[in-house]
Amino acid sequence: MKKIYALLAVIFITYSAFCQDSISVKIRDVDISKFQKLKLYVSITDINGKAISNLDSSNFSITEAETGKTSNPSIQNFFNSPEPMAILIAIDASHSMDGDPLNNVKAGLLKTLTEFRKDDKMGIAYFHDDFVKQASFDTDRDVLKNNIDALHTAGSSTELFKGTIESIKWLKSLPEPKRKILIVISDGEDNGSQYILEDVINEIKNSGISVFTIGSTEKDRGFLANMDKIAHASVDGKYYKITGPQDIKLMIPAIYERIKEEYVINYFSYAAVNLPVNPTLDIKTGNKIISVPFKYTSPAAIVEFAPTISFWKSKEFLYGSIGAGAVIIVLAVFMFINMSKKKKFRLEKEEERRLREEEAQLNREKFDKFKNEYDGLLDRLESQMTISQADKDRIAALEGQLETTGKTLFGEAAPKIDIKRRTMILEKGSYTPVNEGVLSPTLLVKTGALSGKRFKISAGTTTIGRQSTDIIISDTTVSRNHARIYFDNSKFYIEDNSSTNGTFVNNFRVSASEIKPGDIIKVGNVELLFSKN
C-alpha cells in the first residue's frame, strides 16, 4: 500500500510540473485611454483551457525597456472589477441540433445566467439557413429565461459562416460595454454560399472580440476543424470539443468561469508621449518566470500622471550607482592589465615566433614537394622520344610554384632551377609520328556517341579526356584530362590521371599498365579497342 501511495505522489508531482510548464498567457487588450495609467486584460490558462485564478500582485511585474523602470502592478479578477460584459450566444438551430443537443444548450445557458452580475448582458441568436436575433442584449433575467426556453430548431440547412459574421457585427454595434464575448455552438458544417471561412477569420481578427466555440456533432467530425479555426482567429479564443450532448450544459458555464477569472492589471508607465513602447509582462509561477512582451504607442497627451519616484528609486540614482561601480571595475582592470603586461608581451612574442616557424616549415614542405615533382617529371621526360603540351605546361607551372615558395623560404638565395637540362629536354619537340609502314597503333571507339571512330596513337604521349586533350571524348563520365598513352622501350602503356571514374584494361582498374593489341580500354563508360594496324 505504501508503494501505491508513493507512486501516486510521484504521478501527482509530475503532472503538476507538466501543467505548470504548459501555462498559456494571452494579453487580450491594452487600454491606454488614461495614459500614463495603463490597463491590461490578461487571460492565464492551463493546458486544458481552465483559468488559473490563484495569482496576486506579487506574481506580476512589468518592465518597460524605453524607461528602464519596473512596476509592480495592481491586480483584480474581471468578475470583481466594475466593468460589465456582453455575451452573445450564437446557436446552430438546424435540425442536426434537435433533441438532447439543444436541450443541453438551454440547461447550460440557464445555469450561467444565475451567476451573471447585475450589469452583465446576454444576447441570444440562432442560425440555420437564416440568422435570427432571438434576444437583444438585456439584463432582465426573466426576459432572458423566456427567450432561452423559446429556442427551437428550424430551417433546412446550416449557414455557420454567415451566422458567425452577423453575430460579430451585432456585438460591434453595441456602444457599451467594452468587454464583448461571442460563444458559437455548432457542428461546424456550413451549407451557405455567401461567405467562406477566410471571411469569418478576417472579421474576428478586426473586431477585438473574444470568440469561444463549442463543437457538437454526432455525424462527420471533420467539420469541427472549422470551429477550431474560428476560435483561434481571436487573440484569447479557444475551441472546446465535447464528446456528447450532455457536455454542452457543462461547457457553457466553464467558458463563463474562464472569462470572469480574466486578470485586469493596472500599472503606471513612465514613457513619454508619442513614443513606441515595448514592455514585458513577467509572471512568476512556482520556480519559473513567464515573460510576455507586448507593445503600444503612447498617445499625444498624458491624462493621468504617474506618481513621482523617490531619488533612491530613481533612474539617476541607479545610473549613478552603476557609474561608480563601473569606475571601480575600470581601476581594478587597469591594475590587473598593468601587472600582466610584461607576461602578455612575452607570450605574444613566443606565439609570433612559433607562427613564423610553422610558416617556414609549411613553405619548406611545399618547396620540397614541388621540387621532387619537378625533378621526377624531368627524369621521366628525359627517357621519352617526344613531349606533350600538357607536360610542358606542367613544367612551367612547377617552375612558377618553385620560384614563389623559394623566395618566401630562402629570399634572394633561393636555389636555382637547372635551366640547361630543362631546355635540352624540351627541345626534343612535340609528337614524333610512328612509322606507319612499321607500326600504326589506333584506338577504336566501341561504345558511346563516337562509336566506330578511330584515333591514331603517336609514338610519344597521347592524352585522352573530355577537354583540351589529344583525343577528345565528349562524355560526362570521362574526366577533363582522364589518362595518357605513351610509348617506352618498344611498348605502349596507359596511365590514369587521377580520373573520377577510373581507367580499366580488360575490366581491371589500373593506375598504369602495359597495353597490347586486342586489349579493351575503358575510360568512364566509354570502351576503346587498342590495335596495331
Tens of pLDDT, residues 463-513: 999 988 899 998 999 999 999 999 888 889 999 999 999 999 998 889 998
Average pLDDT of the residues of the chain? 83
Residue 317: its pLDDT value, please?
66
- What is the reported pTM? 0.52
Q: How confident is the model at residue 430 (pLDDT cuts 50, 70, 90)?
A: very low
- Answer yes or no: is pLDDT of 243 > 80: no
Residue 117: its pLDDT value, please?
83
- Answer yes or no: is pLDDT of 387 > 90: no
Set of cell numbers at residue 146: 423566456
71-108 pLDDT tens trace: 889 998 888 888 888 999 998 887 777 777 778 888 88
Rounded Cα distance, 303 and 436, in Å:
109
If one compares 411 and 23, the residue with the highest pLDDT of the two is: 23
Residue 176: its pLDDT value, please?
87
CA 270 to chain centroid? 36
If one compares 60 and 241, the residue with the highest pLDDT of the two is: 60
- Answer yes or no: is pLDDT of 235 > 90: no
For residue 430, the tally of other CB atoms under 10 A from its CB is 14
Residue 413: its pLDDT value, please?
61
If one compares 317 and 252, the residue with the highest pLDDT of the two is: 252
- Answer yes or no: is pLDDT of 212 > 90: yes
CA 190 vs CA 92, 127, 230, 443: distances in Å: 10, 11, 13, 77
Rounded Cα distance, 414 and 221, in Å:
86
- Answer yes or no: is pLDDT of 410 > 70: no
Contact 78, 260 (CB under 8 A): yes
Residue 165: its pLDDT value, please?
95
- Answer yes or no: is pLDDT of 220 > 80: no
Residue 428: its pLDDT value, please?
54
Q: Name the least confident of 147-156, 274-283, 439-448.
A: 147-156
If one compares 400 and 506, the residue with the highest pLDDT of the two is: 506
- Answer yes or no: is pLDDT of 402 > 80: yes
Q: How confident is the model at residue 236 (pLDDT cuts 50, 70, 90)?
A: confident
- Answer yes or no: is pLDDT of 260 > 60: yes
Set of cell numbers at residue 432: 614524333
Rounded Cα distance, 378 and 393, in Å:
13
The arithmetic mean of pLDDT across residues 144-163, rounded, is: 84
- Answer yes or no: is pLDDT of 524 > 90: yes
